[in-house]
A = this chain, B = another copy of it.
Amino acid sequence: MAQGTLLYAQSGGVTAVINATASAVIQTARARKVKVLAARNGILGALGEDLIDTSKESIAAIRALAHTPGGAFGSCRVKLKSLEADRARYERLLEVLRAHDVRYFLYNGGNDSADTALKVSRLAAEFDYDLTCIGVPKTVDNDLAVTDCCPGFGSAAKYTAVSVREAALDVAAMAETSTKVFVYEAMGRHAGWLAAAGGLAGNGRDEAPHLILFPERPYDEADFLAKVQATVKRVGYCVVVASEGIQTADGRFVADAGGGTDSFGHTQLGGVASFLAGRVKDALGLKVHWTLPDYLQRSARHLASKTDLDQAQAVGRKAVEYALKGMNAVMPVIVRTSDTPYRWRIEPAPLEKVANHEKKMPAGFIRRDGHGITPAARRYLEPLIRGEAPPPYGRDGLPKYVALKNVAVKRTLPRWRP
């Protein structure tokens, strides 16, 4: 224990493979005799000194994390502000780290988490506390800068492509006398990455999906309805993939079902598919069905991409290696070295290049007519959904997902009141 303890925390929306990253972190650290604590419910547990002793978990349980979706230690949606605005919280965090001799802080999340890890590293330097901070990438939104792709995205992308292909076969079979239009709502507040992945379900203009609605392009109702009608006339049915984040030309979200905002300040969305379905029904008089997979798309570990799983584990391993080498304020990112064959490696990137930047989908990924993906998009996306990595199933027909004991470490500090 001379080298100090490693604290691992999960942040933001969980994915099908974030626990695979945790599994790799813990296994790599164990092999190096480094003690690993995990913060319960992400940064909240770190602030509240609610820390989990992962050494109480069997190696079998830690291995089983690799095939278990969700966030095994809990995650949270709490964003720390600037060092100045949130100084009390940053200092408390440092106090907790110091109390448990934490020398390595691994924060597994998106843009905001990279920013937090960066700020913690700066504060530690200011206080002369020896701490190595690593951001570990994760998000189904695929919107992290620098890295070629984000662990979690590939599996959600595979779920999307497979689900669209399957539902399209159903619609095709029934279209003569039943549903003629089907709308699939994909996650993606600001970028159409998952909607684009739906495009992998088919090839050519007559294969589903026939229309993709991207948040990168303004929603034009007349154009949408005309294309739906033309597709039904030509093909017999029409499958639409719509991103939850589509907006009209004047910047209003097409459907804002929740209407609230979360603590990151994001608008709560939902209901785009049901809105579009209503328009198709009323304006075109066509029978329509829609689906809102919601959390199913980011928790479907049963349909994980092997590429995604491999990358989620690789960033976890590298994060520990970088930490133990004292490579402060970096993130292990995925670098693509070749499309065909698909090759990638992990490299360290400075957190300041990742934090608070948002990767947009390249304009060249959206077809000129605005409603499909280009060959360039396909070259980028296709390797990310490649390969299967099913979980083991029990005799009861269900995946054998693990539940950890999550034994808390004894608190040493006074309770903290923010």
Enumerate chain A interface residues (CB-CB to B < 8 A): 10, 13-14, 16, 41, 44, 68-72, 74-78, 158, 161-163, 165-174, 176-179, 182, 200-201, 257-258, 260, 262-263, 270-271, 274, 281, 287, 289-296, 298-303, 305, 307, 382, 385-388, 390, 393, 395-399, 401
Identify which of B71, B177, B262 contacts A263 (C-beta below 8 A): B177
Given A166-B299, A177-B263 in contact, is the A395-B386 Cβ separation under 8 Å? Answer: yes
Contact A298:B170 (CB < 8 A) given known A162-B399, A165-B399: yes
Contact A171 B295 (CB under 8 A): yes
Assembled-state Cα–Cα distance A295/B263 (Å)? 33
Q: Is the CB of A177 within 8 A of B41?
A: yes
Considering the chains assembled together, what is the distance between the CA atoms of A74 and B298 in angstroms? Answer: 32
Contact B396 A299 (CB under 8 A): no
Of A13, A75, A270, A401, most buried by chain B (CB within 10 Å of CB) is A75
Asked whether A176 lies within 8 Å of B44 as measured between CB atoms, the reply is yes
Say whether, besides A70-B173, A174-B13, A289-B294, A200 and B44 are in contact (CB < 8 Å).
no
Q: Is the CB of B76 within 8 A of A41?
A: no
The one of B10, B172, B298, B390 in contact with A70, judged by C-beta atoms closer than 8 angstroms, is B172
Given contacts A170-B295, A200-B398, A396-B200, contact A77 B289 (CB under 8 A): no
Q: Of the candidates B77, B293, B395, which one forms a contact with A174 in the assembled complex, judged by CB atoms under 8 Å apart? A: B77
Within 8 Å CB of A289, what residues of B? Answer: 270, 294-295
Rounded to whole angstroms, the CA-CA distance of A196 and B16 in the bound complex is 25
Smallest beta-carbon distance A383→chain B, Å:
8
Distance in angstroms from A58 CB to nearest chain B CB is 19
Closest to A383 in B: B397
What are 24 inter-chain pairs, A to B, with CB distance below 8 A? A14-B169, A14-B174, A69-B166, A71-B169, A72-B173, A74-B173, A74-B174, A75-B174, A158-B397, A165-B398, A170-B295, A171-B295, A178-B262, A179-B295, A200-B397, A258-B281, A271-B274, A274-B292, A291-B294, A293-B293, A307-B397, A382-B397, A385-B396, A386-B397
> A69 contacts which of B170, B201, B258, B291 (Cβ < 8 Å)?
B170
- Chain B residues with CB below 8 A from A263, complex form: 177
Contact A170 B41 (CB under 8 A): no
Given A44-B176, A274-B274, answer yes or no on A68-B385 (Cβ-Cβ < 8 Å). no
Distance (whole angstroms) from the CB of A373 to the closest CB of chain B: 14
Question: Taking A44-B176, A303-B303, A398-B162 as contacts, is the C-beta distance between A68 and B169 under 8 angstroms?
Answer: yes
Whether the pair A292, B292 counts as a contact (CB closer than 8 A) is yes
Q: Is the CB of B291 within 8 A of A292?
A: yes
Q: A390's contact among B44, B165, B173, B388, by CB below 8 Å, is which?
A: B388
Q: Is the CB of B398 within 8 A of A201?
A: yes
Decide yes or no: A305 and B166 within 8 Å by CB, A77-B177, A177-B41, A271-B274 being known contacts: no
Top 6 A-B residue pairs of the complex, sorted by shortest distance between their CB atoms: A70-B169, A71-B173, A385-B397, A166-B299, A291-B294, A170-B299
Question: Closest CB-CB distance, A301 to chain B, in whole Å?
Answer: 6
Chain B neighbourhood of A298, CB < 8 A: 170
